[in-house]
Amino acid sequence: MTAITAVTSQNTTGVKSITPIPPKEILNQIMFTSKDIKPNAVKIGMLHSTKVIESVIKSLDNIKIKKIVLDPVMVAKGGAKLIDDNAIKLLKLRLMKRALLITPNIPEAEILTETKIRNKEDMIFAANELLKTGIKNVLIKGGHLTSKFVQDVLVNRSEIKIFTSRRYKTKNTHGTGCTLSSAITTFLSCGKPIKKSCELGIKYVNFAIKTNPNYGKNHGPINHLNTISVSRKFR
């Protein structure tokens, strides 16, 4: 089930416009769908204002789901901030602590910790800084660093796990972060533990990047159907 927070006009070359959905209607979407089918897990993506964040918090108080994955989307692919400082502050104070896992990329982790991340050690330091605020698990995505391999770092109070993946030379990476957090949430909803859910989610996204359909003139989408086997008679 999906609750839409904004409608965008965009293609592979960029975003033309963003139309926010009223916070009350976002709350209605979450509450009405969850009343019919209670979710096993919840993934939260871009929340563009304090009022939207407050609506989501209110809905979480009602549906009482423990498996929450928060992807703190706040920086566009081009580097521009997508939410204002007040929304970031509210996100840190009231929403992030409710999540079982948060999945910031490096620019987002830098904003949340007010640190500079240049390598794997900086990623681990930033993750530990986030744990100090009461967050249970932090997965910092390492795709923004320039290296032959991509390293994603999962940190909690009991361990540090580094997932190393091959980096593919492609511009078709639109939606990687949103897809990863959604995939992890799906595996959590199936009963997988947090570390295994991250491992399987990362593998799924990596293969989705590798098998991208190469659509559009710029940053095309990844292949979300990469795990589906099509019968020979339909090929």
**Pick from 143-147, 162-166, 226-230: least confident:** 226-230
Q: 164 lies in a domain?
A: yes
Residue 163, CA atoms < 13 Å, CB-side half-sphere: 23
Cα(1)–Cα(168) distance, integer angstroms: 31
Query: Which residues belong to the active site?
Result: 141, 173, 175-178
Distance set, CA 41 to CA 96, 144, 190, 192, 222 (Å): 15, 28, 9, 12, 24
The domain of 162 spans: 64-227
3-state secondary structure at position 29: helix
Residue 174 confidence (pLDDT) above 70:
yes
Task: Classify residue 110: in a domain, yes or no.
Answer: yes
Residue 77's pLDDT is what?
A: 63
Q: Residue 114: which CATH number?
A: 3.40.1190.20
Confidence class of residue 76 from pLDDT cuts 50, 70 and 90? low
Confirm whether 54 is domain-assigned.
no
Q: Of the candidates 15, 96, 16, which has an alpha carbon nearest to the alpha carbon of residue 53?
A: 96
pLDDT digits (tens, 9 = 90+) for 16-57: 888 999 999 999 999 999 999 999 999 999 898 999 999 999
Cα separation values, 51 from 5, 24, 112, 196, Å: 11, 9, 20, 34
Orientation angle between helical segments 194-210 and 176-189, nearest 10 degrees: 140
Mean predicted confidence (pLDDT) in 122-144 = 95
Residue at 20 is within a domain: no
For the chain, give the percent of residues with pLDDT over 70: 97
Q: pLDDT (tens digit, 9 = 90+) per residue, 88-112?
A: 899 999 999 999 999 999 999 999 9
Please give the tally of structural domains in the chain. 1
Query: How many Å from the N-terminal Cα to the C-terminal Cα in the chain?
Result: 30
Q: Tell the residue number behind the tokens 């400082």, with chain if given.
A: 85
pLDDT score, position 234: 62
pLDDT number for residue 35: 95
